[in-house]
Amino acid sequence: MTDAPSHLNTGSHDLAVSPELSRFMAGDWAPSPLPASDRVAAYAVTPARRARLSALFPGERLVVRAGELKVRTNDCDHRFRPYSAYAWLTGLTGEDQAGHVLVMEPSGPHAHEAVLYLRPRSPRADGDGAFYRDRRYGEFWIGRRPELAEAERLTGIRCAPLDALGSPTGRDAASDPELATALSELRLVKDAWEVGQLQQAVDHTVAGFEDVVRALPRALAHPRGERWIEGVFGLRARAEGNGTGYETIAASGAHACALHWIRNDGRLNGDELLLLDAGVETDTLYTADITRTLPLSGRFSPVQRQVYELVLAAQEAGMAALRPGASFRDFHRAGMRVIAEGLADWGVLKDAEGDLHRRYTLCSSGHMLGLDVHDCGKARAQSYLDGILEVGQVLTVEPGLYLQPDDETLPAELRGIGVRVEDDLVVTADGARLMSGALPRTVDGIEEWMGGLLDAARG
Ligand code: GLY
Ligand code: MN
Ligand code: MN
């Protein structure tokens, strides 16, 4: 018996391999070509992106890593998702990208040659048995990887073995803030293909919200109904795409007053609202980010309607402020003005001036959307938060009111109500197109939509 070579990722309970088995495993395998890819369009858009990056850093070596696997427990890793800028530059988005590195080598004063350093498929004969012994990377453990020539044909990028990389000098996006910023800013405006991917993400998300409404009777009966909802949405996300683009927020009643309630361990109360903030991420890694706040009874109570309609009015005002040339912050200001005036009308605030309304709104009411749910996060303020909207930018508008259950500034009937309405929009020449308009937003629209789905579910 021989122990596994130390570079193989084996488990403490793996069986040793006899020389006979080792020889037996090495032979008699038929050719198994890589299945055809359905991602040709995803690779076709990447040369233009690399050219834009190249132009910003003439003569400099640029390193963009996919990232590494992260242990979850012992020998089990978390699912791997590559660094968004790596996916954007290469079109490679799979779990098999762990450890891979894109290097942009200067190839003249104003050009770079892209080289992908990959862990290629390991050989069957004359190899170390990695294909059946390495539980992290072996083909018989996690599936087939492309050979270098196959990866080149797929991506149109020269490929080299990861072993040959060594430690490259130059700018590394993992540690060079200037490069990381450039990679965020280059992604601020989406190309037509990206907008199409985001629309797919939105459409699958709409289907996921419909699934959740149909599942409400089961969820209401379960002691952890919030988890049931998370699971129902997650099924749709996994079935149609790569998964959820962020942890689903399924918040019943006062849980909705925690902005990112992802514990989702609560019971659903049929008299309360459910805040569902969820997004499907496509296989190409673009995510939607949508929130609806739904009455679990199917009908808003008068006080729920009062809060909901104020948030909706704020969202309408925010969306109406989107247009190329507007300041990024305009839509937030427009929405917050409506909220502050509403709170003053209710007598919660003395007047609509100042920033006291923020006790009840807590956070900014929108952000860029793309490969990351909070996209382009390393962009400088001057090009994002203090910047000007441009055609092709995709963003959320998501005002909310979070009326904490223990807030003594509020009348008792308002306490414990949390409402957010969140939609995804793309900036167009004359305003913005609502990408998530297939999901109703008005009180009447939501009640009618829920009623239809629940009737159909009950048969
Ligand atoms: N789902 C996180 C957010 O809305 O920003
Ligand atoms: Mn959002
Ligand atoms: Mn959201």
Given CATH 3.40.50.620, say whether it is the number of domain 192-458.
Answer: no
Q: Where in the chain is the domain with CATH 3.40.350.10?
A: 30-174
Tell whether ligand 1 has an atom less than 6 A from the beta carbon of residue 272.
Answer: no
For residues 168 and 390, what is the distance between their CA atoms, to the nearest angstrom? 36
Ligand 3 midpoint to CA 401 (Å): 14
Ligand 2 midpoint to CA 338 (Å): 19
Nearest-5° Cα angle at 81, 75 to 82: 115
| Res 37: pLDDT | 84
For residues 40 and 444, what is the distance between their CA atoms, to the nearest angstrom? 43
For residues 233 and 205, what is the distance between their CA atoms, to the nearest angstrom? 8
Q: Which of 202, 209, 244, 246 to mutate to test the pocket of ligand 1 (most atoms within 8 A of CB)?
A: 246
Q: CA–CA distance from 234 to each of 81, 203, 281, 311, 351 (Å)?
A: 17, 15, 11, 27, 43
Atom of ligand 1 nearest to the CA of 420: 4
Tell whether ligand 1 has an atom less than 6 A from the beta carbon of residue 398.
Answer: yes
| Res 2: pLDDT | 67
SS3 at position 293: strand
Tell whether ligand 1 has an atom less than 6 A from the beta carbon of residue 289.
Answer: yes
Q: What is the DSSP string of 99-167?
A: T-EEEEEE-STT-EEEEEEE-PPPPSTTS-SHHHH-TTT-HHHH-----HHHHHHHHSSEEEEGGG---
Tell whether ligand 1 has an atom less than 6 A from the beta carbon of residue 277.
Answer: yes
Q: Where in the chain is the domain with CATH 3.90.230.10?
A: 192-458
CATH classification code of 30-174: 3.40.350.10
Q: Which of 374, 423, 424 to mutate to test the pocket of ligand 1 (most atoms within 8 A of CB)?
A: 374
| Res 307: pLDDT | 98
Tell whether ligand 1 has an atom less than 6 A from the beta carbon of residue 424.
Answer: no
Q: Which of 209, 244, 248, 249 to mutate to test the pocket of ligand 1 (most atoms within 8 A of CB)?
A: 249
Tell whether ligand 1 has an atom less than 6 A from the beta carbon of residue 246.
Answer: yes
Close Cβ partners of 113 (under 8 Å, ≥ 6 residues apart): 104, 105, 107, 158
Residue with tokens 């862990």: 119
Which of the residues in the chain have pLDDT under 50?
Answer: none
Residue 82, Ramachandran bin (φ over 0: left; ψ between -120 and 50: alpha; else beta): beta
For residues 197 and 192, what is the distance between their CA atoms, to the nearest angstrom? 9
Ligand 1 midpoint to CA 159 (Å): 37
Ligand 1 midpoint to CA 34 (Å): 38
